[in-house]
Amino acid sequence: MKPKAATIFTAYLLLAPALVLMLVFTFYPVLYGAYLGFTKYTAANLGSNTPPTWIGLENFRTVLSDELFRIGLVNSLKYLIIVPILQIASLAVAVLVNKQLPGMAFFRAAYYIPVITSISLAAVMWDWVFTREGLLNWLLEFFKIIDPSGSFGWLLNPNTALWAIMLVTFWRGFGYYMVLYLGGLQSIPSELEEAALLDGANAWQRFWKITVPLMRPTILLCSLLSSLAAIRVLEEILVFTNGGPLNSTYTVLMYVYQKSFGLDFDYGVASAAGLLLAVVGFVLSYINFRITREDPPKREAKA
Amino acid sequence: MKKRWLLLASAFGALSMAALAQNKVQIEFWSWYLSPKFDPYLLGVIGEFQKANPNIEVKLVDKQDTMERDLQAAIALGKSPDVVNLWQDATAAAAQNNLLAPINDLTPMNQLQAQFWNNTLGMFIVDGKNYGYPWYGWTDQGVMAYNSEVLKKAGITKVPTTIGELLTASKLIKQRTGSYGWLPPVKDPNGASFLGQFYLEGLPLFANGKAAFNSGKHVALLQKFIDLMKGDFIPQDLLRKEAFQLNNEYYSQGKSAFIVGGAQALVRVKDANKDIYSKTKVVPAPLGAGGVQTGGSMSLVIPKASKNQKEAALFAMFMTNNKAQVQFAKLAGIVPTTKGAENDPDLKAANPNDALDVATSLVSGTGRFITPGWNPPKNTDAVYKNFNDNIEAAFLGAKTARQALSDAVAFWNANAK
């Protein structure tokens, strides 16, 4: 049955406020930003009040031939390593804190605290962890993993700085994804679990055969959000290293940021770099959908 | 009858007063990182200005990290502020992008020259035109504050008077007490600090308009600092954080012995650690072989898009005048960029035992020596980034000092505009 015209009208009417807001604050800026990527548009345009001039693919050539952009892209892609680790860890812990045991509410809250901690505060704290006289080196020395003469500042070593910042991302994101997973877990009917228990499935089997398949939509959502956040990492870089040492933490968004808000104010080039990053984001989303897609049910009768 | 006339007249008077009030010009002034600590000061000066110019009203807005972005956005939206606090690089960039009104069109040159030292006016000249009223300044050297207790513990009796002596003393202090001595700027994120080190030692930066900071002497100086960092006589964090900030942090915690800089650094020490502040003594800063100082100043600029440029110019001249800057120097230890501050009785140290008082009086007359040391290229972003990347590579051992400097020179000469 087709819905009545009045019903459709009401539906759109109710959607209108949100749509208008999105049009103004999301779609328009995104499309205009994309357009700027093909134009010459700098602070000088603002000064002389002239509109952007179309220059085709020129900005993309500039960006792609810039070694800094390539370094940024490699680092941003490297940053994706954090995604599977973060997702597996937060799903696992979500399963644990989902148990009806005394004190679980405390853990749920505790894991969430980093999410609501501001990055500037976190920066001060992690600084104490990562400096040469910091907590991390102290721990490693305590467990005799390194000796005191080998200690170094983690954010000052081009081989470790990116990993150190990834750890902060992990710490900040962990509670957030855990809560999302927790929500997903609580929507799984307990009957399924009980039935599996009666059938003699062990904990591992129940996790893989019941929890994971039913959690697929949540896993897709979380890993998608997390990989997009990873390639767009900026805050952590800005507060900890500014892209150093030796550009080892220089990400694509750092490049975009410096092109647009450094002294260059080259919005055209920055938009082009942003667009290229968006393409990477699309590819990642596609891969995510492919990996977590539900397999078509196999119900062939076996003779 | 007479009464009625009087009534009518006073009614007219009231009306015209109201009309006048409505005709008040409102101008918007953007300060940079001064709120909330200096709100009372700024509002005080604004109050005096409004009293002297009853038809102008000044609205104060303090901007912080996002200043330049906000300024561009405001101009693009047609809501430009009228007077804006920028700094040298930002003034140059904004002027090149045609965002600013040349101030010599608004204030006669002789008035500008009567109020400010020429060297400070010169910092804001772009393509032959003045774009900034010099506001509060600083010298990168200025004074040296030292923690007398740490020096005593290290057995240092002669306070260093040259940078060479300062580095030697720093080494001794680290060996004997475990505290650092001096934390020299080597790679501040918003500049090219090491060029400053060359400049202080009197090493030429340019020859025939080309970058030329890669001679044997330049290499040796860089190597000297690299060795200091290798031996942990200066902390490695200097590669990651601004030296000004790090010096404050370490000194206030008793983890370093010297602060070289303007008096404004001591304001923060005083707030952070009273005990260390009381042990602090102040002397003129040690200089390098060049015998020169570097420094800079803030500017007040007027956007071209401002609708009240005439009033804005009046206010900018008032905010930056000698009286207001001397007042500010007493509060914040800044270096006035105005003529006359060097002889101002208000800036003589009232209390010879108070570090900040001594420091302020020592630096207050140095406005005429403020110089950035060299003219930055127009595309500082790319050029300074490359320079700093090379300096960092040398400190981290990824390149030799010689290699790093010749790479930096090559890039500079190929790319600087």
Mean residue pLDDT of chain B comes to: 89
pLDDT per residue as tens digits for the range A125-169: 999 999 888 899 999 888 888 887 777 889 999 999 999 999 999
Q: Which two tokens stand for residue A12?
A: 């759109």
Q: What are the respective helix, strand and coil percentages of chain B, to the nearest 5?
A: 50, 15, 35
Angle at B57 between CA B51 and CA B60, to 5 degrees: 110
User: In whole angstroms, what is the distance from residue A167 CA to residue A161 CA?
Assistant: 10
Contact between chains at B240 and A46 (C-beta distance less than 8 A): no
User: In whole angstroms, what is the distance from residue B413 CA to residue B417 CA?
Assistant: 9
- Mutate which: B229, B255, B302, B389, vs A, most A CBs within 10 A: B389
Contact between chains at A261 and B69 (C-beta distance less than 8 A): yes
The pLDDT score that the predictor gives to residue B304 is 94
Could you identify the residue written with the tokens 């100086």? B221
Average pLDDT over residues A237-241: 91
Rounded to whole angstroms, what are the CA distances from A17 to A4, A11, A269?
A: 22, 11, 34
What is the interface pTM, i.e. ipTM, of the complex?
Answer: 0.76
Rounded to whole angstroms, what are the CA distances from B184 to B22, B291, B370?
A: 54, 17, 19
Q: Are B146 and B281 spatial neighbours (Cβ–Cβ below 8 Å)?
A: yes
User: In whole angstroms, what is the distance from residue B258 CA to residue B197 CA?
Assistant: 17
Contacts of A246 in chain B (CB under 8 A): 389, 392-393, 396, 398
Contact between chains at B392 and A258 (C-beta distance less than 8 A): no
Q: What are the sequence ranges of the domains in chain A?
A: 35-292
| Least Cα separation, residue B394 to chain A (angstroms) | 10
Contacts of B190 in chain A (CB under 8 A): none
Contacts of B97 in chain A (CB under 8 A): 42-44, 46-47, 265
User: In whole angstroms, what is the distance from residue A47 CA to residue B76 CA?
Assistant: 8
pLDDT per residue as tens digits for the range A85-121: 999 999 989 988 888 788 888 888 888 999 999 988 9
Q: Kindly state the percentage of chain A with pLDDT values over 90.
A: 50
Among chain A residues, the shortest Cα distance to B380 is held by A263
Contact between chains at B237 and A156 (C-beta distance less than 8 A): yes
Average pLDDT over residues A77-82: 94
Rounded to whole angstroms, what are the CA distances from B270 to A111, B136, B334, B354, B364?
A: 38, 21, 15, 10, 19
The pLDDT score that the predictor gives to residue A193 is 83
Q: What is the set of domains in chain B, with CATH numbers? A: 2-137+296-353 (3.40.190.10), 143-294+372-415 (3.40.190.10)
User: In whole angstroms, what is the distance from residue A88 CA to residue A174 CA?
Assistant: 10
Minimal Cβ distance to A246: which of B76, B236, B392: B392
User: Please, which residues 52-71 of chain B have a Cβ atom closer than 8 Å to chain A?
Assistant: 68-69
- Is the domain spanning A35-292 CATH 1.10.3720.10? The answer is yes
Report the amino acid identity of residue A277.
L
User: In whole angstroms, what is the distance from residue B346 CA to residue B358 CA?
Assistant: 12
Q: Are B313 and B144 spatial neighbours (Cβ–Cβ below 8 Å)?
A: no
Give how far the C-alpha of residue A186 lies from the chain's centroid of Cα atoms, to the nearest Å.
Answer: 24
The helix (run of H) or strand (run of E) holding residue A82 is helix A82-97
Report pTM. 0.79
Pairing verdict, β B125-126 and A53-54: unpaired
Q: Kindly state the percentage of chain B with pLDDT values over 90.
A: 62
Q: Which two tokens stand for residue B79?
A: 């809501």
Angle at B354 between CA B352 and CA B358, to 5 degrees: 60
User: In whole angstroms, what is the distance from residue B309 CA to residue A276 CA?
Assistant: 42
The answer, for B396 touching chain A at a CB cutoff of 8 Å, is yes
Contact between chains at B240 and A158 (C-beta distance less than 8 A): no
The pLDDT score that the predictor gives to residue B1 is 46
The pLDDT score that the predictor gives to residue A148 is 76
User: In whole angstroms, what is the distance from residue B134 CA to residue B298 CA?
Assistant: 6
Q: Which two tokens stand for residue B191?
A: 């500049």
Q: Which two tokens stand for residue B222?
A: 């860089």
- Mutate which: A46, A124, A128, A159, vs B, most B CBs within 10 A: A46
Residue B33: count other Cβ atoms within 10 Å of its Cβ: 12
Band of pLDDT at residue A42, cut at 50, 70 and 90: confident
The answer, for A238 touching chain B at a CB cutoff of 8 Å, is no
Contacts of A156 in chain B (CB under 8 A): 236-237, 239-240, 396
- Mutate which: B240, B306, B391, vs A, most A CBs within 10 A: B240
The pLDDT score that the predictor gives to residue B8 is 52
The pLDDT score that the predictor gives to residue B192 is 87
Residues 6 or more apart whose CB falls under 8 angstroms from that of B87 comprise B32, B296, B298, B299
Long-range contacts of B383-390 (CB under 8 A, 24+ apart): B383/B411, B383/B412, B383/B415, B383/B416, B384/B191, B384/B192, B385/A258, B386/B411, B386/B412, B386/B415, B387/B192, B387/B194, B387/B195, B387/B411, B387/B412, B388/B187, B388/B189, B388/B192, B388/B193, B389/A244, B389/A246, B389/A247
The answer, for B96 touching chain A at a CB cutoff of 8 Å, is yes
Q: Are B202 and B290 spatial neighbours (Cβ–Cβ below 8 Å)?
A: yes
**Secondary structure class of B156 (helix, strand, coil):** coil
Contact between chains at A242 and B89 (C-beta distance less than 8 A): no
The pLDDT score that the predictor gives to residue B278 is 92
The pLDDT score that the predictor gives to residue B9 is 54
**Beta partners for B61?**
B30
pLDDT per residue as tens digits for the range B175-199: 999 999 999 999 987 788 899 999 9
